[in-house]
Amino acid sequence: MNRLIVGNWKMNGLGAALGEAQGVAAGLGGVVARVGICPPATLLERMSRALSGTPLAVGGQDCRAEASGAFTGDVSAEMLADAGATLVILGHSERRAGFGETDALVAAKTEAALRAGLEPIICVGETLAEREAGRAISIVTGQVRGSLPKSLADRPFAVAYEPVWAIGTGLTPTTEQIAEIHAAIREALVGLLGPAGGRAPILYGGSVKPGNAAEILSTAEVGGALVGGASLSAADFLGIIAGA
């Protein structure tokens, strides 16, 4: 299966940053990986128009589980799709930690993404304290079982393994540690979803840079990458994509 490389711009990017996305699109000739950028919601529609006719997909960074209603400030999966998104990141650790998102809420948001025809990228990952306590595998597989509804079985989706301690820190797990967790996620996915769980890409995320991308992307069961900071620069993001 082709790898999936997705940039998460987080709360970064004004209109002037659209040029970076266009720069990425212009550099995708010959790239077999599927590539996407998830900008802030304010840029989604403009970015999807600017990238129309290119292979670069756009996505949201979160959605509300409900389709519409009195939820001031929130954005539904249907609204993301209406703005041109085909992907949505769900359950990012910044939302789990900063907004109290539970596995059950992430599962409800995943159902919403499927309802709107979006491909969800569901994030899981342990904290440093959990890893040091020897609980990384049980935490991550527990998040997989709690955050992924059974309805994913016949739909495109991805899981992103993002150790919380590796996000934005410049720290990365060893490739052995990545392979160990990805194998455990694969086993949990197959147990949960059957054969479909064997096909979904498992992305790695956390301080992926041009200098470490090729090694990480060639690790067993790594089906792509979720990239934060380095996806804000077309040159850096293309350097990562080149490793796929």
Residues with catalytic function: 92, 162
Asked if 126 touches ligand PEP (CB under 6 A), the answer is no
> Residue 84 or residue 228: which is nearer to ligand PEP going by CB?
228
Asked if 227 touches ligand PEP (CB under 6 A), the answer is yes
Binds ligand PEP (CB under 6 A): choice among 206, 223, 224, 243: 206
Residue nearest to ligand PEP (CB): 228
Q: How many CB atoms lie within 10 A of CB 98?
A: 9
For ligand PEP (CB under 6 A), the number of binding residues is 13
> Residue 91 or residue 228: which is nearer to ligand PEP going by CB?
228
| CB proximity list for 198: less than 8 A, separation 6 or greater | 186, 189, 190
Q: What angle do CA 141, 224, 96 make, to 5 degrees?
A: 45
Q: What is the total residue count of the chain? A: 244
Binds ligand PEP (CB under 6 A): choice among 3, 5, 8, 161: 8
DSSP bridge partners of 38? 8
DSSP bridge partners of 60? 88
> Residue 75 or residue 216: which is nearer to ligand PEP going by CB?
216
Residue type, 102: T
Binds ligand PEP (CB under 6 A): choice among 226, 234, 240, 241: 226
Asked if 213 touches ligand PEP (CB under 6 A), the answer is no
Binds ligand PEP (CB under 6 A): choice among 90, 106, 118, 208: 208
Least Cα distance to 20 among 229, 244, 243 occurs for 229
Among 51-59, 67-75, 79-87, 204-212, which window interacts with ligand PEP (CB under 6 A)?
204-212
> Residue 130 or residue 162: which is nearer to ligand PEP going by CB?
162
| 129-188 positions binding ligand PEP, by CB under 6 A | 162, 167-168
- Rounded CA-CA distance 84/46 in Å is 9
| CB proximity list for 93: less than 8 A, separation 6 or greater | 123, 125, 162, 164, 167
Asked if 229 touches ligand PEP (CB under 6 A), the answer is yes
Phi, psi of 202 (to 5 degrees): -110, 110
Please spell the DSSP secondary structure of 15-56, one letter per residue.
GGGHHHHHHHHHT-TT--SEEEEE--HHHHHHHHHHTTTSS-
Among 103-111, 145-153, 182-190, 227-235, which window interacts with ligand PEP (CB under 6 A)?
227-235
> Residue 139 or residue 225: which is nearer to ligand PEP going by CB?
225
The site for ligand PEP (CB under 6 A) is made up of 8, 162, 167-168, 205-208, 226-230
